[in-house]
Amino acid sequence: DIQMTQSPSSLSASVGDRVTITCRASQGITNYLAWFQQKPGKAPRSLIYAASRLHSGVPSKFSGSGSGTDFTLIISSLQPEDFATYYCQQYYNYPPTFGPGTKVDIK
């Protein structure tokens, strides 16, 4: 299985901050990388697929980049509704695997 790692595992930020989360795959996955947002007690929400493409309805403050093994999710200006846990996932080969998550909370 392809192993996914994320850093940091958690971060504290303020409203208006620019937040960067990184994700690394144990082998190259081209751009078969997705990002999900999950709030406590809720199902994950799909944010980004193909490393940089926003799902329908996802605001442009979210952006993704990267290819190969290293990827980044950026939230340009953190808002109260963005405090959540963020997961990356590779779907390059089976089984699809998720990173351990990055929890973003309020400073």
Shortest distance (Å) from residue 1 CB to other proteins: 8
Count of residues near other proteins by CB under 8 A = 24
SS3 82: helix
- The beta-strand segments (E) located in 1-107 are 4-7, 10-13, 19-25, 33-38, 45-49, 53-54, 62-67, 70-75, 85-90, 97-98, 102-106
- Mapping DSSP to helix (H, G, I), strand (E, B) and coil, where does residue 74 land? strand
Cβ closer to other proteins: 44 or 68? 44
Q: Which is nearer to other proteins, 18 or 53 (CB)?
A: 53
With contacts defined by CB under 8 A, name the span among 7-15, 19-27, 65-73, 91-99 that binds other proteins: 91-99
Considering only 22, 24, 45, 58, the residue that binds other proteins (CB under 8 A) is 45
In this chain, which of 55, 67, 72, 103 binds other proteins, going by CB under 8 A? 55
- Return the biggest CA–CA distance within the chain: 38
